[in-house]
Amino acid sequence: MAKTEKRVFDSEEDLAVSLAKYIDHLSDQFAKKKGLFTVVLSGGSLIECLRKLVEPPYVDSIDWSIWHIFWLDERVVPKTHVDSNYKLAYDGFLSKGSNDDLNCKVTLAITNNLTAILKSILEHDSRRFIVQVPIPPGNVYAIDDTLSAEGAAEEYEARLKHLVDSKVIDISAKSGFPKFDLNLLGMGPDGHVASLFPGHLLLKENKKWVTFIKDSPKPPPERITLTFPVINSSDYIALVVPGDAQADAVSIALGGGNHPTAEETLPVQRVAPEGLLTWFLDKDAASKL
């Protein structure tokens, strides 16, 4: 049985602060252990909960050069589409950063009444104001949005196998599946994680690393997802669940309640990593425990 801990916070803000400290600690731990840090992102509210990482002190203290970013699941849409998990992560996390450079320049210009210099900065140097999280672009492994669902799943699995061969991703001695350092999961109100939904056949997939779904009960219908054997081979999993919409599922998963409409367990109850599972809940999500 996986080692599990539960952290409940008074507010989503407190949750986000604690999550940043947790990730910062793991980043430092894996930097010292092996010189790189493999992180899997999901979509939904998780990305908003990562916002403290791109603020001081973490945006400056974390060694972003060792990070390798992967996706837990993706929708079969262009990267520019509003439903894209890549777009969500890019807009809400990867493209964020400190505005200190902008603040210093504006303060200097105002202090010295250098209107012309300020105008020049704004017109010609505005790109410097968007300080991206400095993860090397080659370390960000987005799912190919030009392929079909099946093709994208096959291509992503092949890419993961190449990264295992090149020692970027570890392989689990226990399961034989890729072993990510940190898997950041969200959860839907129905208890789904990744694109693994209640009652779906994909819950039982135990051979593939990456698979696809064409009949998702939640739009868009076509998606690519990591499978449970890959998820559960992770060294650390953080299940990040803010808000009362998930309170029933949290109660079932952690409180031992029965599923109201099906005999099967919720997908989230299948999350059992080789390492440590940590639930990050605000008081609304934990309100029915």
Report the pLDDT value the prediction gives residue 25, as an integer from 0 to 100: 98
User: Is 96 a residue whose pLDDT tops 50?
Assistant: yes
Q: What is the mean pLDDT of residues 94-117?
A: 48
Average pLDDT over residues 229-250: 98
Task: Give me the pLDDT at residue 104, please.
Answer: 39
> Which residues, 6 or more positions from 93, have their beta carbon under 8 angstroms from its beta carbon?
41, 47, 50, 51, 53, 54, 133
Tens digit of each residue's pLDDT (9 = 90 or more) over 156-190: 999 999 999 999 999 999 999 999 999 999 999 99
Token pair belonging to 75: 């929708």
Instruction: Look up the pTM and report it.
Output: 0.86
Q: How confident is the model at residue 110 (pLDDT cuts 50, 70, 90)?
A: very low
pLDDT band, residue 95 (cuts 50/70/90): confident
Percentage of the chain with pLDDT > 90?
Answer: 82
Looking at CATH, the fold of the domain delimited by 3-96+132-282 is given as Rossmann fold (3.40.50)
192-212 residue pLDDT tens: 999 999 999 999 999 999 999
| Domain-wise residue ranges, the chain | 3-96+132-282, 98-131
Summary mean pLDDT of the chain: 88
**DSSP 8-state secondary structure symbol assigned to residue 249:** H
Question: Which pLDDT score is estimated for 289?
Answer: 94
Closest CA to 43 of 77, 69, 72, 14: 72
Residue 109 pLDDT? 40
Helix 100-111 to helix 115-124 angle, to the nearest 10 degrees?
Answer: 150
- From residue 18, alpha-carbon distances to 13, 25, 128, 238 in Å are 9, 11, 29, 12
Determine what percent of the chain is predicted with pLDDT higher than 70: 84
